[in-house]
Amino acid sequence: MTNIGFHYFPDTVHYQKKDLDTWLPKLKELKASWLTLRAPLQRAIPEDFIKELIKADIQPLLHFHLRPDQLPTQDQCKLFFDTYARWGVEYVILFDRPNVRDAWGSISWAQSDLVERFLDLYLPLAEEALKSGLIPVFPPLEPGGDYWDTMFLRAALAGLQRRGSKPLLDAVVLSAYAGTNGHDLNWGLGGPERWPDSHPYFNPEGSEDHRGFRIVDWYLALSETVLEKRLPLLMLGLKGSDEEAEDHQQDAQIAQLLSGKQVTGVDSLPEEVLGGMFWLLAADAESEFRDEAWYTADGQANPVAEAYQGLYAPRTEKAPGGYRIDHYLLLPTYEWGVADWHLEVIRGFIKKHQPTVGFSLREAAHAKRVTILGGEEHFNEDDLSQLRNQGSVVRRIKGDGTKVAAQLAAI
């Protein structure tokens, strides 16, 4: 088990067999052990979708984005919980970012005792999930947030303890949105003990706070202070701060840390971390999150997925001597020869990068980096997977002449 996971589509409509046929092979290729699924409130995710994930040793993490002003009844939730538990689901997240104003809908945010009012809503549902055999996950908070998240979490844990919910406290798992927020992977390392000058709503110059990848250190310190034990924790919303860089190295380093491997210059994760979910596996073209997705809705890899696969995903070892070619530009051929517009559009790219230019997949397999011109009709995903599995960083460029030129210019 790698402890590596992904957030699935940011909606509830991609749960059909054809979706499973597209994404399960890619999740296996990415060595995923977790998949966060947004759980609908009107119907259950199809049984086959859930069971096929579990059969592939991928644990579904169901996230119910509940709103205090639109809560289903406890009986409705119980039906969902019983059903999912029977199918093999283990973990459910109830609510999302209750420390931000927008999460509360028409219920007044400004009323007093916000955390206590949240616990009034959360506790009955979490205890119902526990009765069904599920492990309730305390919802992720917005780092910082309208109500500072560390203050919210401290008050919530104290409230759970004060209300005497021992079975829940024995089972509950924390979650944290752990994107890097533009920082390196050691930002905030050591938590409040190492950075005592950092306070809610204020972080003095020269100090570091929890708003980054090491948010886990701060949340675990809080649980130890309030409950005298460090709760298990799931990391959500993982995303490297080098998303604009070609190599996306931080994402590969995060994957290595989740897998228990050492990364030079970066501290290991606490043992309480159960897993981490990268944001975001895929999104539709019209989604506001499409630019953050690793894949397009039809399964085409975006640069972050290609770089990640080259740096981290399974590969065969290179023969002694390594790569013979540093960068290979692979062009398609047609029955009548080579397209003149391909030769025209790559001129600037060749001047800039000086790649080896050719038409052979076999030759491209000896390259450290491979840039491919052409869609599925020329080079299918199996071809690309073979290149990635032997260690190459692969990027596909496709579209009409204008789009191809723009993409090449951006590299």
Contact 128, 172 (CB under 8 A): no
Evaluate whether residue 402 is within a structural domain: yes
* Nearest one of 237, 175, 179, 233 to 211, comparing CA atoms: 179
For the chain, residues with pLDDT lower than 70 are 242-247, 313-322, 335, 337, 400-402, 410
Q: Do residue 233 and residue 358 come from a single domain?
A: no
Evaluate whether residue 244 is within a structural domain: yes
Which tokens is 326 given?
């540093």
Evaluate whether residue 316 is within a structural domain: no
* Nearest one of 76, 69, 79, 75 to 102, comparing CA atoms: 69
Evaluate whether residue 156 is within a structural domain: yes
Residue 121: HSE in the Cβ half-sphere, 13 Å Cα cutoff: 20
Domains held by the chain: number? 2
* Cα three-residue angle 110-112-116, rounded to 5 degrees: 115
Domain CATH number, residue 375: 3.40.50
Contact 4, 34 (CB under 8 A): yes
Q: Do residue 238 and residue 337 come from a single domain?
A: no
Domain CATH number, residue 56: 3.20.20.80
Evaluate whether residue 42 is within a structural domain: yes
pLDDT of amino acid 315: 45
Q: Do residue 119 and residue 217 come from a single domain?
A: yes
pTM of the model: 0.78
Q: What is the rounded CA–CA span in Å between residue 380 and residue 219? A: 45
Write down which residue in 311, 341, 359 finishes a domain: 311
Q: Do residue 253 and residue 394 come from a single domain?
A: no
pLDDT of amino acid 317: 43
pLDDT of amino acid 337: 66
Residue numbers of the domain that contains 365: 325-410
Write down which residue in 262, 289, 311 finishes a domain: 311
Q: Do residue 144 and residue 203 come from a single domain?
A: yes
Q: Tens of pLDDT along 54-110?
A: 999 999 999 999 998 889 999 999 999 999 999 999 999 999 999 999 999 877 888
Q: Do residue 160 and residue 242 come from a single domain?
A: yes
Q: Do residue 117 and residue 197 come from a single domain?
A: yes
Beta partners for residue 176, in sequence order? 235
Q: Do residue 366 and residue 260 come from a single domain?
A: no
Evaluate whether residue 317 is within a structural domain: no
Please, what is the end-to-end C-alpha distance for the chain in angstroms?
34
Q: Do residue 254 and residue 155 come from a single domain?
A: yes
Q: Do residue 268 and residue 359 come from a single domain?
A: no
Q: Do residue 156 and residue 221 come from a single domain?
A: yes
pLDDT of amino acid 33: 96
Evaluate whether residue 379 is within a structural domain: yes
Residue positions counted in the chain: 411
Q: What is the rounded CA–CA span in Å between residue 111 and residue 269? A: 38
Q: Do residue 341 and residue 277 come from a single domain?
A: no
Evaluate whether residue 160 is within a structural domain: yes
